[in-house]
Amino acid sequence: MRRLIAGMKISVDEKVEGVQGYADWVEAWSEDYGLMPQVDACLLGAVMYPGYERYWTALQNEPDEPLPITGRLPTPAEVEWARFAARTPHYVLSSTLTSALWPQTSFVRGLDEIAALKRQSGKDIYLVGGARTTASLIDAGLVDELRLIVYPLIAGGGKALFAATEHRRGLELRKVQQFPGGRVFLIYGTA
Ligand SMILES: NC(=O)c1ccc[n+]([C@@H]2O[C@H](COP(=O)([O-])OP(=O)(O)OC[C@H]3O[C@@H](n4cnc5c(N)ncnc54)[C@H](OP(=O)(O)O)[C@@H]3O)[C@@H](O)[C@H]2O)c1
């Protein structure tokens, strides 16, 4: 069985984005969770997918230009992720979206299709976000591991990761690591 592993960059008050609609405290959207060697597919929610596609398409097409959202030049780790994303199947959980620009993107219409994806042979699957998708898939018992990078700030307003979660769930702490800039990397087993 492939594992489904979520990775999110959050503030101390569990915001995944601020009031302006993005996490301005995140300086680069590289895959900083150590997942690249062990995954061969990505899963995303319908709200975040269009912006994700725009961001990585911009990097692929104009690697020397500042990126949307961060307004910065791509970091080497972002360039690495852009290359990985371009050759990796992406699945978007949506009942409404029907088309994507990327040929490697397809759609899943419900949680049973995600369970079926996990039963296929292959490496693990990276759950890229967004908040609602990540929280609801954890709630449904489909996520095996949650990897968080906690930034040292209280964001105040914005979108919280577990805003709609009602059920209690114990977590198993598997790793704690301090990252540069006061960030903390946490790995939790969710089963
Ligand atoms: N800080 C970070 O690391 C990070 C990472 C990724 C994203 N983000 C942020 O997250 C934001 C998007 O998060 P979001 O919570 O608004 O939306 P989302 O999780 O990207 O997408 C939610 C959508 O997924 C579809 N969906 C279908 N079945 C679902 C189910 N069982 N549970 C949940 N969703 C289901 C629905 O779309 P349909 O209506 O089409 O069915 C729903 O509206 C982005 O704007 C981005 O800023 C942050």
Q: Tokens 């979520």 — which residue?
A: 6
Given pLDDT bands bounded at 50, 70 and 90, which one contains residue 191? Answer: confident
Q: How many residues are given for the chain?
A: 191
C-alpha closest to that of 131 among 107, 105, 164 = 164
Query: Is ligand 1 within 6 A of the CB of residue 97?
Result: yes
pLDDT digits (tens, 9 = 90+) for 12-36: 999 999 999 999 999 999 999 999 9
Residue nearest to atom 35 of ligand 1 (CA): 133
pLDDT digits (tens, 9 = 90+) for 52-87: 999 999 999 999 999 988 889 999 999 999 999 999
Before 71, cis peptide (omega within 30)?
Answer: no
Produce one character per residue of 13-29: b if its CB has 16 or more CB atoms within 10 Å, e if not.
Answer: ebbbbbeeebbebbebb
Q: Given the CA of residue 7, which atom of ligand 1 is nearest to it?
A: 3
User: CB neighbours of 144 closer than 8 A, spacing ≥ 6?
Assistant: 3, 4, 5, 189, 190, 191
Query: Is ligand 1 within 6 A of the CB of residue 186?
Result: no
Q: Yes or no: say if 102 and 88 are a contact pair by the CB < 8 Å rule.
A: no
Query: Is ligand 1 within 6 A of the CB of residue 158?
Result: no
Q: Is the pLDDT of residue 160 over 90?
A: yes
Q: What is the C-alpha to C-alpha distance for residues 10 and 8, in angstroms, rounded to an integer? A: 6
Question: Which of 58-62, 104-108, 149-153, 170-174 comes out lowest in average pLDDT?
Answer: 58-62
